[in-house]
A and B are shown apart, each in its own frame.
Chain A
Amino acid sequence: MGVKELRDKQATIRQLLIITDGCSNVGEDPVTAATQARQKTVVVNVIGIVDKGDLGKQGRSEAMSIAEAGGGMCRLVQAADLAATAQMMTHQTMQMTLQQVVNQQLLQVVGKTTEDLPPAERTKVMQLMDKLEEEVCLELVVALDTSASMREKMPLVQEAVRDLTLSLQAREGDSRVAVVAFPGNHDEMVRVVQPFSDQLDLSALESVWTARGGTPTGPAISFATRLFDELGRPNRTDNDEDSGWTDVSLQS
């Protein structure tokens, strides 16, 4: 049995985290946008805030559909649990992405998934995945719903983003975080609060305030997907579209 080494070259995980308390009502369909994001190897996660919002039955089912189409997770939580949830989702989706790749490779090489391995072998594979999760490059866009009903929750949203950045900064691998708000100011549907950076600009984050207008979730997803494209490296080869993962090979 020989899963010994995971070789890693410029591997990057891309995630989009949507924090919303409502249902989209402006622009393109968010589920279609999420499907397109996934095709570009972006995993889409959604946190729906349930307290004092207008996240009705329709909003909840939309949040779940977006996450499903985007290959990510959906959690419906109280605003007070935002920080912990954002942490947990980012970590678990990274784990999930890596596991998909590793399982695929294992199936090809030995015809087994990690769960089929004896526990001792499994521990070795999991430890490698854990190391990879720590070292892989992460690109994350946080898309914040800034419609009027979010006003009261904004301090907790800002705290959650700050806290998530603290965790990402401590990683051994590179982490780049961008923050966008939807709707933006005046007539724009989406506004960049912070472009991709390894540091969080706290003052920029504090300037995020609720705006007038609808909830353009679909346009925000498309906008975020383009942000990843603009960041994209010219020498990247996207050979594994479904997993949100590139250039990893598992040697046996």
Chain B
Amino acid sequence: MLAAGTRIVGKWTASNLTVERALGKGANGEVYLVRGPQGLAAMKVCDQPQDIALEWGVLGGIRPTPSFFPKPILMDDSDAPKLYFYLMEWVVGQPLSELVADLKESSLYELMSQVLQGLEELHQAGYAFCDVKAQNIIVAMKPGLKVRFVDAGGVTRFGRSVRQFTPFSDRAYWGMGTRRAEPSYDLVAFALMLICAYVIPPPQLTQWPVQERKRWLAKALRGFPEAAYIPFLQAILSNSFTDAASCLIALRRTRQAVRPAGRKAKRQKRAQGRDWTEWVMWFSLGTTAVVTSIALGSLLHVFG
């Protein structure tokens, strides 16, 4: 771990950097917030120079550049301390794992929709994310909900085998498909991520046979808090979608079924109308009663 205040001089770019604080730990290295000549940036440090080189190749080499991943700034080494690193845009927000429990249905929909858009963009370039999990999805809530991806270490060209994965978001671990980089690999991971964000898998799951893992998952899916999305998630898990775009269309349809915007507005209007009629009714009844009692009173007064 690098302490705050550590100064780093890039061997090849002569950049002067100062470590501000640690941001997190990835599968193969650490990420720090550093101050450099162009202000604050995130610095990924790996023990293995090949990991730095390959991740840099993903962030800076894929065309068109995937906008959901941090923008690459520079790659360098330092001799003291001995480091292999690259600098990238600092993505501000909270990991999906930390905020998903508090999301309203509308925010959840927006979040799912953006993640799928990000996947679609990456898939268009011929690559799969291969490490779609709640810790790698960063969400900013202000000014509006905005989703970004971090940790490009797993990004793999379509057709190749997936090397960096997390068991709970790996469809092969759940006995639901191959470990090959293709759009459906990411989509299944997307559904697994959402289900496991609400119901955390027990650690001993790994020791269970595949059939029992599937049973656990089916139960977790039945308990998904937004019940309307259960059939949609189920369809993803059975590898029904071959690309993120068609998955996105299915998501929009599901949403329309949940909240039929037009009809709902009409129903509300009618409800308000009924309220008003009721008010008029009680008002007239009340008035009648008052008028009647006054009349009755004066009558009695006259005769009395």
Q: Chain A: residues with CB nearer than 8 A to chain B? A: 80, 83-84, 91, 95, 99, 114-115, 118-120, 122-123, 125-127, 129-130, 134, 155-156, 159, 163, 166-172
When C-beta atoms are compared, the residue in chain B nearest to A167 turns out to be B179
Which A residues touch B53, using CB under 8 A? Answer: 119, 122-123, 125-127
Which A residues touch B259, using CB under 8 A? Answer: none
| Bitwise interface map of B from 177 to 192 toward A, beta carbon under 8 Å scored 1, else 0 | 0111000000000000
Do B161 and A167 touch (CB < 8 A)? yes
Q: How far is the CA of A222 from the CA of B76 in the complex (A)?
A: 45
Which A residues touch B61, using CB under 8 A? Answer: 123, 127
Instruction: Report B179-209 residues with CB < 8 Å from chain A CB.
Output: 179-180, 203, 206-207, 209
When C-beta atoms are compared, the residue in chain B nearest to A173 turns out to be B161
Q: How far is the CA of A120 from the CA of B86 in the complex (A)?
A: 11
| Chief secondary structure at chain B's binding surface | mixed
Do B173 and A126 touch (CB < 8 A)? no
When C-beta atoms are compared, the residue in chain B nearest to A82 turns out to be B206
Q: Known contacts A119-B76, A122-B53, A163-B173; is A170 also within 8 Å of B162 by CB? A: yes
Which A residues touch B203, using CB under 8 A? Answer: 80
Q: How far is the CA of A129 from the CA of B243 in the complex (A)?
A: 29
28 contacts between A and B (CB under 8 A): A80-B203, A91-B163, A99-B50, A114-B49, A115-B49, A118-B12, A119-B77, A123-B56, A123-B75, A126-B49, A126-B53, A126-B54, A127-B61, A130-B50, A130-B54, A134-B161, A155-B209, A156-B207, A159-B206, A167-B163, A168-B161, A170-B160, A170-B172, A170-B180, A171-B160, A171-B161, A172-B159, A172-B161
Which B residues touch A123, using CB under 8 A? Answer: 53-54, 56-57, 61, 75
Do A95 and B179 touch (CB < 8 A)? no
Instruction: Report B48-69 residues with CB < 8 Å from chain A CB.
Output: 49-50, 52-54, 56-57, 61
Q: How far is the CA of A115 from the CA of B47 in the complex (A)?
A: 12
Q: How far is the CB of B133 from chain A (nearest CB, A)?
A: 15
Q: How far is the CA of A169 from the CA of B179 in the complex (A)?
A: 8
Which A residues touch B12, using CB under 8 A? Answer: 118-119
When C-beta atoms are compared, the residue in chain B nearest to A126 turns out to be B53
Do A126 and B178 touch (CB < 8 A)? no
Which B residues touch A127, using CB under 8 A? Answer: 53-54, 57, 61
Instruction: Report B92-136 residues with CB < 8 Å from chain A CB.
Output: none
| Chief secondary structure at chain A's binding surface | helix
Q: How far is the CB of A209 from chain B (nearest CB, A)?
A: 16
Do B49 and A122 touch (CB < 8 A)? yes
Q: Chain B: residues with CB nearer than 8 A to chain A? A: 12, 49-50, 52-54, 56-57, 61, 75-77, 159-163, 167, 172-173, 178-180, 203, 206-207, 209
Q: How far is the CB of B298 from chain A (nearest CB, A)?
A: 92
Which A residues touch B56, using CB under 8 A? Answer: 119, 123
Contact of B160 among A126, A159, A172 (CB under 8 A): A172
Q: Known contacts A119-B75, A119-B76; is A129 also within 8 Å of B50 by CB? A: yes
Do A95 and B50 touch (CB < 8 A)? yes
Which B residues touch A91, using CB under 8 A? Answer: 163
Which B residues touch A95, using CB under 8 A? Answer: 50
- The 5 closest A-B CB pairs, nearest first, are A170-B161, A126-B53, A170-B179, A123-B53, A119-B75
Q: How far is the CB of A223 from chain B (nearest CB, A)?
A: 29
Q: A169-B178, A170-B162, A170-B178 are in contact. List 13 more A-B contacts (CB 8 A).
A: A83-B167, A114-B50, A119-B12, A119-B52, A120-B75, A130-B54, A134-B160, A155-B207, A167-B161, A167-B162, A169-B179, A170-B180, A171-B161
When C-beta atoms are compared, the residue in chain A nearest to B166 turns out to be A84
Which A residues touch B178, using CB under 8 A? Answer: 166, 169-170
Which B residues touch A166, using CB under 8 A? Answer: 172, 178-179
Which A residues touch B163, using CB under 8 A? Answer: 91, 167
Which A residues touch B52, using CB under 8 A? Answer: 119
Which B residues touch A159, using CB under 8 A? Answer: 206-207
Q: How far is the CA of A115 from the CA of B77 in the complex (A)?
A: 10
Q: How far is the CB of A121 from chain B (nearest CB, A)?
A: 10
Which B residues touch A163, using CB under 8 A? Answer: 172-173
Among B161, B178, B207, find the residue whose CB has the most chain A CB atoms closer than 10 A.
B161
When C-beta atoms are compared, the residue in chain B nearest to A162 turns out to be B210
Q: How far is the CA of A96 from the CA of B230 in the complex (A)?
A: 45
Which A residues touch B167, using CB under 8 A? Answer: 83-84
Which B residues touch A129, using CB under 8 A? Answer: 50
Q: How far is the CA of A167 from the CA of B160 in the complex (A)?
A: 10
